[in-house]
Amino acid sequence: MDYMIPPPPPPLPNEPDDPKYKLAGALFDEGEVLMREDSTIALEQAIAKFLAAQHIFEEIGDQHQYWCIHMRGSRQLNTGIVYRWLEQYDEAETHLREAAHIFSQAGDSIIMATASYELGHVKNDLGQYLAALDLYIEALPYFEHDFFVSCECADVHTFIAGAYSRLDCLPEAAEHYARALPTYREYELNEELADALKNLAAVYDKLGFEGKADTCRREVDQIPKTDS
């Protein structure tokens, strides 16, 4: 399947100096902070913040069209992610699909693709591995064509590899884990590198490639340990 990569977007307009817009933005930021807390209560509070911000954006309407569209899309994306963490998968899917639609209409292909792979995570959690794989593969080309998101591209390769592994498509899993490694090495993303190498070693074991599996494990042993 051929993918059409859209041209770069026009320069962004100045962010509006509007008290209502700033209030909505502050609520959105508070929601993002709450997303980082490891508690159900905090996640539910984050959703409430995002919904409150959404109501304000709807009141503003098209007055600040560009910024409100993107904030609305981001609100949908984050709300979908939080609902997935809360294992409320129907709500998660609804918000993530809406986020993908908003960013597609806005011409922001990277965040649209982010919504697609987040929806893939929902399908993966539900055990719908083929559906998850399709969504990961759908997202991949957008990251491959943008140098500035190369690390996220590597992540998507590991998502694809994991889905292939769960579907017992082991050569394909090995290929995509291997394609993530150069970026993780280049940017010294040691935790991600170690995880990818361990998973690749497990795939090689299943394929009977003991030498390749051992090579992966030796590299893991050589990765500098970070302080916990």
Task: Give how far the C-alpha of residue 177 lies from the chain's centroid of Cα atoms, to the nearest Å.
Answer: 17
Q: Which two tokens stand for residue 48?
A: 């409430």
CATH 1.25.40.10 fits 146-228, yes or no: yes
**Domain ranges across the chain:** 18-145, 146-228
CATH 3.40.630.30 fits 18-145, yes or no: no
> For 187, which DSSP code?
T
CB 162 within 8 A of CB 173: yes
Q: Do domains 18-145 and 146-228 have the same CATH topology?
A: yes
Label residue 157 left, alpha or beta by phi (over 0 means left) and psi (-120 to 50 means alpha): alpha
Residue type, 196: A
CA–CA separation, 111 and 73 (whole Å): 9
Name which residue leads in pLDDT, 143 or 15. Answer: 143
What does the chain come to in residues? 228
- pLDDT digit string, tens, across residues 24-75: 889 988 999 999 998 999 999 999 998 898 888 777 765 545 666 778 889 8
* Contacts of residue 125, Cβ cutoff 8 Å, sequence gap at least 6: 84, 87, 89
The pTM of this model reads 0.82
φ, ψ for residue 3, nearest 5 deg: -115, 135
Tell me the pLDDT band of 218, cut-offs 50, 70 and 90: very high
pLDDT of residue 35: 92
